[in-house]
A and B are shown apart, each in its own frame.
Chain A
Amino acid sequence: MLNRRSFIRVSAAAAGGLMMSMYFDHPSGAQQPTAPIFPPDAFVHVRPDGTIVIQVNRLECGQGTQTALPMILADEMDADWSQVRAELAPAEDLYKDPVFGVQMTGGSAAIANSFQQYRELGAKTRAMLVAAAAARWQVSRDECRAAKSVVYGPGNRSARYADLAAEAARQPIPDKVALKSAAGFGLIGTPTRRLDSRAKCEGALRFGLDLDVPQMQVAVLARPPVFGGRVRGLDDTAARSMAGVRDVFEIPLVHGTAIAIVADTFWTAKQARERLTVDWDLSGLERVDSARLRSAYQALAHTTGNIAVRRGDDDTLNRIPVARRMVADFEFPYLPHTPMEPENATIRFDGDRAEAWVPTQAPTEDQVAIADVLGLKPQQVTFHTEYAGGGFGRRSPFDCHIVREAAAVAKRLRGTPIKLVWTREDDVQGGYYRPVYVHHVEVGLDEQGMPAGWRHVIVGQSWVIGSGHWSEPFVTKDGVDLLGTQGTTDTRYRIPNFHVSAHHPRLNVPVTQLRSIGYTHNTFVMETLIDELATRAQADPIAYRLKLLDPSATTIRTPLMLLEEKSATWRRSLAPGHAVGIACNSDQSTGVACAVDVSIENNRPRIHRATVAINVGLAVNPLTVEAQCQGGLVFGLSQLMAKGAITVNDGHVEQRNFDGVPPPYMKDAPVAIDVHIVPSSEKPSGCGEPPVPVISPAVVNALFRLTGKRYRTLPLVSL
């Protein structure tokens, strides 16, 4: 953990009450907090009516941070939870992630990185409210206690937080403050329902796409049919003749150019787009072809790449008798994120200022990108983070292309707010996929059936290497994109002679991170191979894993042991035609283990049940941890869908919409998922991503027991 100085500021809010802010000294930004304080430039605002508004320095895209972060602050503050409201913070220095140094939602890091921050803010706010009460009553602070937004003092004295707020704002900010012990937690660790649930169930919550700014116009883009294509000629007569069409013009894209159609409504803009005749210049463009890509990658996978891990003696493998050696090849397709709310951004450019409303995982970077397109400084862009209908990594592309497109349109129509909307077709065909990967693995076993030598080559595009993104030095090493190899390179299985290398070919199909990133494919490879080794050794799949895992790898050992216990009954009483499959996954701080009960119906896997055990450190909101495990499993099934792939033919993406690449529907998901949390008082870690990778290897491991076949090519086209 980086050690940073923090600056706390406090003020009486213009509208009354107490505002509390905390700034961190970021080495990257090196900006001192100089902006004037005004709402909502604070983390917590105690309003005169008793409402406590807590700013969430993350995007809420379903993961539940909008509830969990306020729980942490409110607990230390002894706030009355029924009066707590959450707001998504705008882009401001003080809302930057204390570890990343930028505002970002990713890496399942919200709770892990901001747990201490939100606790301290809550405890300091509480201390100042208590100090204000003690001063008012002229008693010692030690004689006062706080509960549910009320300070109690000697002689039946009491005062509500709301009534103390103005006096509290004049109290000095405590340098150090005692935090609660785990036994004193009221909200932290208690299953708590989401704060945004009712609004979402009533259709009242406004997502980015629902925004309606006065005078707003809607833009859609006619995008090149091959990535990087440029407009050579245009006939827009028919489009311009439609009532409601305001303008049609060419804009630059990050790769190539596009035609923007601006109209009074989305529907008009979309209809007008269909009436354009665009002559595209596709000369000189790479025409990626999925079938050719596959064979090129397979050839590459048979050669050593840049070295990611070299442990022990690589030659050991060659000395193991052929009978105890195996070779396996794996293929993974381009995967789309397809969040339910398509990509969008709303921007108004006023010449010397701009205002933006974006459902984004990367507000700081988007703010900088908008400023760049508009010739402004980032501080001249007022940036609102909007609720998102899913994210899954799609809303934080390194090149910020979504807001760049919207800014390019807004720049031309100065003074008019422009909502750029991607259609589902734009989303499915628009790139920024999880890359295609090919793995080639050679394994040699010792006489006890445990892996003694392991040679592993991974081939796939990197969106990090050469990007210049701030994260590049942290996630690349010696020409290896560690995000592409995670799940293999950081395995906790003890394999003495372990050799991993990677190739990162460059192609014009844009790629990016997808929820659980490298683990989507690496965990599949590791967990299906380990299962195969366990079968070969005639060992129980959980016992084999525990034997092979490092004894110190408690993050993953504990959920495996809990899984063994919680699934024992049903695993030993499976119905005829059913089989069980096991898999586990861990990153540095979270471990997940999963067992599934699978049969075959209509030539597809039918998942009757999944049991999940997870070690997430201290579970701040167990109800959210459960939800993320349940949802993460379903998300992870996307790559098992028969039509789960994006394919490219002569440079053209072959799928258009959900009919071409359907995500899992209810019948594809487990009928029941029971989740068990390893009891822990360790620092909280993340749970948004680690459950995703376990389900697909678990299912194919079960299928092997039903069909005798190993499945190493995804998506799972046929059994």
Chain B
Amino acid sequence: MASYVLTINSRQRDVIADPGTPLLWVLREHLKMRGTKYGCGIAACGACTVHVGGVATRSCVLPVSLVGARPIVTIEGMAADRVGRVVQEAWVSGDVVQCGYCQGGQIMTAVTLLKNVSKPTDSQIEQSMGGNICRCGTYVRIRAAIKQAAQQLG
């Protein structure tokens, strides 16, 4: 067991955990932040995506001991982010979600894309979103919502 100070959604959180515990389980079980989802545990589905130091990261394979001082942002923190808010609104107005389990991870990935590319093409969307599984198959509406958000962000 070791003690860590994490900055999550602009708040400092103290955590005592085994150094090998993936950030996903620190969020879900130590901090009771359940918006970040477990889908596979091997970085193959993207349901657990969070931002670590501004980079979309698979929290299921990132040991808490390797986070360091980098700030963490989760889906619960997206409403306070300018791009995040716009993307969430585009998702709602485009009625994207079905079961919704993967959508936190989809939104986290889309936000990083839009922060790096203001007007992504179809192939850029496919490349960035390419590792996120949606078993309900909402991909067409995800594409449309990303384009709508891009337009809104100007």
Contact = CB atoms under 8 A, between A and B. Distances in A.
A358 B125 CA distance: 36
Given A389-B100, A627-B138, A666-B132, A266 B25 contact: yes
Contacts of B102: 340, 389
Contact of A203 (B21, B104, B138): B104
Given A267-B25, A389-B101, A424-B39, A635 B137 contact: yes
A64 interface: yes
A243 B17 CA distance: 11
Nearest to A427: B40
A696 interface: no
A243 B1 CA distance: 10
Interface string A182-224: 0000000000011011111111111101101000000000000
Contact of B137 (A64, A198, A203, A669): A669
Interface string B30-66: 1010111111111011010000000000000000000
A479 interface: no
B97 interface: yes
Interface in B124-150: 125-126, 129-143
Contacts of A341: 37, 39, 99, 101
B76 A389 contact: no
B137 A202 contact: no
A194 B131 contact: no
Nearest to B78: A202
Interface in B89-136: 91-93, 95-104, 107, 122, 125-126, 129-136
B21 to A, nearest CB: 6
B98 A267 contact: no
Contacts, number: 178
Contacts of B104: 200-201, 203
Contacts of A667: 126, 130
A634 B137 contact: yes
Interface residues of A, number: 61
B75 interface: yes
B138 A631 contact: yes
B95 A210 contact: no
B97 A197 contact: yes
A424 B141 CA distance: 26
Contacts of A339: 99, 101, 135
Nearest to B34: A210
A666 B142 contact: yes
Contacts of A64: 98
Interface of A: 60-64, 193-194, 196-207, 209-210, 212, 243, 265-267, 338-342, 387-392, 423-424, 623, 627, 630-635, 657-659, 662-667, 669-673
10 contacts: A63-B98, A194-B95, A197-B91, A201-B96, A204-B76, A266-B25, A340-B37, A387-B99, A424-B40, A665-B133
A-B interface, 9 closest residue pairs, ranked by CB to CB distance from nearest: A203-B35, A634-B137, A389-B101, A200-B100, A62-B99, A62-B98, A203-B75, A631-B137, A210-B34
Interface of B: 1, 21-22, 25, 28-30, 32, 34-42, 44-45, 47, 74-76, 78-79, 88, 91-93, 95-104, 107, 122, 125-126, 129-143
